[in-house]
Structure formats: C-alpha cells, structure tokens
Amino acid sequence: MTTTRVLVTGAGGFIGHHLVTYLKKLGYWVSGVDLKAPEFSISDADEFEILDLRQWENCLRATREADQVYALAADMGGMGYISIYHAEILRNNTLIDLQTLEASRLNGVQKLFYTSSACVYPEFLQTNPNVTPLKEQDAYPAQPQDAYGWEKLYSEIMCQHYRQQYGIETRVVRFHNIFGPYGTWEGGREKAPAALCRKIAYARLTGAKEIEIWGDGEQTRSFCYIDDCLVGIYKLMLSDYSEPLNLGQDRMVTINQLADIIMKIAGVHLQKKHIEGPQGVRGRNSDNSHLKQVLNWAPEISLEEGLSHTYQWIEKQVAERLSK
C-alpha cells in the first residue's frame, strides 16, 4: 500500500478505466475524472467525479490533492471520427491538455504522464503499406495527417517546457493502436479491431455471409493489447525517461489480415466487401528499439491472444443487443 495519490483523467474511457484498476491493484489511492462513468463496468477508483476538463475550475478541482496525474482525457475515436471532426478535436483537446498541465503545476503535482499518439508521425513517411517502422525522432519535420496528431505534438512540447521551466516531471508516451475488452465497439468512435470484431460477431450470430471493410484493406498497422499497454505505461512512469516514447507492437498486419485472424477466432469464413471509407495513413508500424533500450521490455501478448479476449467480449455485447 502506498500513500501516493494518483489522478487518472479519462477514467471513464477505455485505457483510463483499465489503468484505474491496474493502479488500485498496485496499492495506490486513485481518483478518476471523466465526462462520463465507464460504460461497461463500475470504476475501481476510490473517488470518481464527472467533470468537464475543458473548464478551468474543473481542472483545478481534479488535480487539487494529486501527487501524480495520468492525463488520458481526450476527445478521440477511430479514423471514422478523427478524420472528420478536426476543429472540435483541436479545440477540446487543447483546452483539456493545456489546463490539466497548468492546474497540475499550480497544485504542486510532482509527475504527469501524458498520452500522445502515433498520429503525430508525418504523413509523408506513411504512404506505403510496407512502411519503415517509425522511430521517435521521425516526428520531425512535422506533418501529422490530422488535427488530432497536431494537438498531441503541441502538447508533447508543452510537457517538455513545463518540465524544463517549472520542474514538474513529465512522461510522454506515443500509443500505437491499443485494443481490448471494455472499449468502444459501436457508435462511430470505435477503432478497427473493435469494429471488425463487431461486424464479424453480427455476421456469425445472424448468418450473414459478408462484412464491409473500408478501402482495399491493404493499409497496415500494428496493434497492442491493453494488458501490455498498462505494463508499459507504468514502467515509463517509474523510469527517469522524459522524452516521447513509442508504446505498441511492432508486428505489422494489413486490415484484411486482421479480419482473417478475427474470423479464425470466431470460426467463420466471410466475404470481404470493400467499400469507400476513411483509411488514415497507408502504413504504420512502431520501431521498438528505443522502447526496449529505455524500459528493458517490449509488449509480449500476441495479436491472436489479445484479439481472442476482445472478440469474446464484443460477441457477448452483440448477442445481448440482438436479444433485445
């Protein structure tokens, strides 16, 4: 048991909700804030407050007794969301990040963990499905594809300057496609693994013969299971490393291959119908050499194992929906 008081922002969201549980098991006193309570199970936080962190007073209130802050709150979603709502995302996330950091400083928070994204990497390095894995220094010269990535890059720099000028310790991670159970699986903000699990589960349970895939499905990504993500977050928080660090798997698959793996898990074979839709960059993969050097660790859980847990959970959600 530790007396350290930890705040998790975005604690009603996918990673934040899992992180609260993880930190509680380690013995921390944890408070969580979010615009909403977790959708799929009750939070393990000692305290959970519904607060809109775009409001300055709420940022001050949320951070008032925290020794450490894990800043996960963000207006975000999969390609179907972040490729459309640029102005809202830029406005909301700038307000959340800037004010969370400043309120943390004023309230004497010792350490702040900032969750950036692989979306900071320049579009011109990601035009080929067979992309060279992205190293941390590749972020510059900057040309993120979406406003979402520009804001993350700006907030990374803000963390760096707050650390240098005010002495608040900051840690910055760049996530590469984190997935797992208890994440958004419908409604427009879901990401590719959850969307494919949902489509395949619907097909399996209703007897449909095909699923829709955005684009030709040859765009590539790497996907990291939530349990590995939590270990990586905590290792980075404990480290003395303050520069941005990739956190993801470095096994690259096409979206078609991702669908094939999920179909195998579900025990079905479905036709893929390729339709128009946002695809993001053509290829993206994480170069984990720096991650291994800094944390002496890299994600270990296979894509098949992670997807198996995720598919089982999503199929259950779909079955419940169909039974209503």
Cβ atoms of residues 112 and 161 within 8 Å: no
Q: According to the binding rule CB under 6 A, does residue 86 interact with ligand NAD?
A: no
Closest to ligand NAD by CB, 14 or 22: 14
> Choosing from 28, 148, 182, 311, which is the catalytic residue?
148
We find the least distance from the C-beta atom of residue 263 to ligand NAD, in angstroms, to be 22
Q: According to the binding rule CB under 6 A, does residue 74 interact with ligand NAD?
A: yes
Residue 148 annotated as catalytic: yes
Q: According to the binding rule CB under 6 A, does residue 72 interact with ligand NAD?
A: yes
Q: Which of 7, 23, 45, 73 binds ligand NAD (CB under 6 A)?
A: 73
Cβ atoms of residues 223 and 208 within 8 Å: no
Q: Which of 6, 13, 252, 314 binds ligand NAD (CB under 6 A)?
A: 13
Q: Which of 8, 14, 155, 237 binds ligand NAD (CB under 6 A)?
A: 14
Q: Which of 5, 10, 202, 311 binds ligand NAD (CB under 6 A)?
A: 10
Residue range at the interface with ligand NAD (CB under 6 A); choices 5-13, 81-89, 204-212, 278-286:
5-13
The residue of the chain with the least Cβ separation from ligand NAD equals: 13
We find the least distance from the C-beta atom of residue 77 to ligand NAD, in angstroms, to be 7
Q: Which parts of 15-54 interact with ligand NAD (CB under 6 A)?
A: 15-16, 34-36, 52-54
| Site size for ligand NAD (CB under 6 A) | 25
Residues annotated as catalytic are: 148
Residues binding ligand NAD (CB under 6 A): 10, 12-16, 34-36, 52-54, 72-76, 92, 96, 115, 117, 175, 177-178, 184
